[in-house]
Structure 1
């Protein structure tokens, strides 16, 4: 099958105007350009099919009447969304007694509340069982966040430690 193109070449946009004087656009060149364009489109579609990597999240397993959960809410929960850690791993609350959502099915052995788990792309990166107070919670969380695969996230988690 022969393909003939009368449209301007994609290569013409790359070359300067003085370079176009002896430029001959053959059907073969047009075929090559179309194949390159089709390959680039196929590559873009394959990346789109993979979908974006799911961001990390801090999953808090809690229950009604939990005094340590209430203390965490008063000391950290009110500011957490505004922190660098909250940007890296937004908070997701799950009742410890409810059926686990499908995307958290791999998380096992949660028996105490609160339990905090840093979870990303179906993998647990670490957990904090109980609430040890804010002086211990932040460094423990930063240590877990620094183990995330994204170097940007790991660098951001170390910001608070440097302050």
Structure 2
């Protein structure tokens, strides 16, 4: 029973880490090698899983780092079927379900984003106007001393 509990805890921990990374990478449209870059915790979890899997009375198959890196979608993650519950069939694990959740939470934040933009846009417009005035004034001031530098300031302002 202790070995089974250790195995289940190692499996749950590995699931959590890999699923979190897969969701994170799916959001960034990345997979595979990006999973490798941020992987110390996953490697440690694989070692714990393998130790617990071998300790069972009916040993489970060991996992390699390469197998885990090859998982690019939740549906590819075969270990999910060994868990206590099969989360692959859950609505939030399906691409359409995740997309719906993303859209829902974006809508919740839309009013907040609009209020923030109503503050930031006037600030940015004021900055642009002040910058324009400053560069015009400086180009006129510099012109008598260094016409070439004044010309460069004017080009910078126009850009």
TM-score over 0.5 (shorter chain): no
Larger relative strand fraction: 1
Q: Classify the TM-score, shorter chain.
A: under 0.3
TM-score between both structures, scaled by the size of structure 1: 0.26
TM-score between both structures, scaled by the size of structure 2: 0.26
Larger relative helix fraction: 2
Higher relative contact order, chain-length normalized (CA < 8 Å, sep 6+):
1
